[in-house]
Amino acid sequence: MILLLMLSLSLVGLTSYIASLNRAVTEIDQLDPLKDPFSTYCPNSSKFPKVSVIVPAYNEVDNIQDCVMSILNSTYLSDESLEIWVVDDQSTDETLTVLQTLQRSLKDSRLKVISGQPRPHREVWIGKNWACVQAAECAGGEFLLFIDADVRLNPGAIEAAIQTAVAENIDLLNCIPQLICGSLVEWLVQPLMFINLLISLNYKGVKDAKTETAFAAGPFMLFGRSAYGRIGGHQAVASHVAEDVALARLIKRNGLKLRYRLGSNIATLRMYRSWAAMWEGWTKVLYVGAQRNLSIMLFLAMVMLIIYCTPWLGLVLIVGRSITIGLKTIDLLTVCIALVAIILQYKLRIIAGRALYSPPKYWWLHGLGGLLVAVMAIASVIKTETGWGWTWRGRSLKQPIFPAVRDIL
């Protein structure tokens, strides 16, 4: 009877979850690349606003060349309308060498490479914020497009984003790229994480301009230069691990316009290619992205276990029982509910695929994926609150206590 109740709860939860995802996919518009950028702007003329694309890079030797080439190959914009600022954020690998070699070989005046400076002494700078500030200070664009090194732009992407921002007077345009997964662990976790993200972006409080509630995804963020300056840019969120969410909240707090778009047509994203990177990456941002709200993390873990793990666990238990002692009438009902819930999990991935252009590969391992996400949510709370193992690529995210502050404490 308890198992039947749990499976019924899972079925109800999945139904509600699918409805929320379907609304998000329907209501968040897909941003399409301009097939002919010249039809709206002449990129070589003063009609096209100047765009500064900024790429912070820390130990991105495997990504950075493909990222830069995708930007250059995605657009017809000349150096009068486009500049690309790539900041090597004190990498310990060959990222800077790759960038300098690429710059010399291409001889493209649009590409600017910055060898990032050490972080200011006795100031708290976390993540990519310091690198972004260095580039933003050099950039001369009317728009600032921040993308991560694991993003690849499609042809017409920049023009499409600018056209949308200009036409709708958007101060921050946040796009969700097409999700690319390569390994089994990526297929287990990433689709579930991005489904949660899509639902969160379409949450009523997030869409309400009168609230400060906001979420954002850092891989593709386009700011109007004046709006970016008004909120203080990345310097205003220097100590924030989830700087994307913090910037989005500042936009809303200042009465500026924040909009989300599905960007599967204009860019691709493959993040966290190994289990180690995925564990480190998600556990660093989940809890802080939720403003350190323990209730939200516990709710997330509970939802993941109920809608993803429970149907598969229930099916296994009933099958095991049937082998040992046979089936009762109530067991047949339990099996039917479990199977319906599992079918709904497949439907969930099909709906997500419409937005993320991601096939439902390995959907039948959702039980394991939901467990991994739940564990990450709890681990994110523990790591953030204690500082134990709270790192990004070996850099500690725990804020240092300087001597003067220690004396006060």
pLDDT in tens, 189-239: 999 999 999 999 999 999 999 998 999 999 999 999 999 999 999 999 999
* Of residues 303 and 332, more confidently modeled: 303
Here the tokens at position 320 are 């095991």
d(CA 279, CA 231): 31
Q: Quick one: which H or E segment has residue 409?
A: none
Token readout for 154 is 């499609």
Cα 89 from Cα 366, distance rounded (Å): 37
Rounded Cα distance between 195 and 217, Å, is 13
pLDDT of residue 329: 73
Helix segments in 202-293, DSSP class H:
204-207, 225-230, 243-253, 275-289
**Residue with the larger pLDDT of the pair 302 and 403:** 302
CA distance 367 to 377: 16
28-280 adopts what CATH topology?
A: Spore Coat Polysaccharide Biosynthesis Protein SpsA; Chain A (3.90.550)
Task: Provide φ and ψ at 395, rounded to 5°.
Answer: -85, 130
What was the pLDDT predicted at 404?
42
Residue 37 has pLDDT above 80, yes or no: no
Chain centre to alpha carbon of residue 244: 9
Residues 24, 10: Cα–Cα separation, whole Å? 21
Dig out the tokens for 14 from the structure: 């999945």
Spatial contact of 284 and 383, defined as CB atoms under 8 Å apart = yes
Tens of pLDDT, residues 107-165: 999 999 999 999 998 899 999 999 999 999 999 999 999 999 999 999 999 999 999 99
pTM value? Answer: 0.92
Mapping DSSP to helix (H, G, I), strand (E, B) and coil, where does residue 119 land?
coil
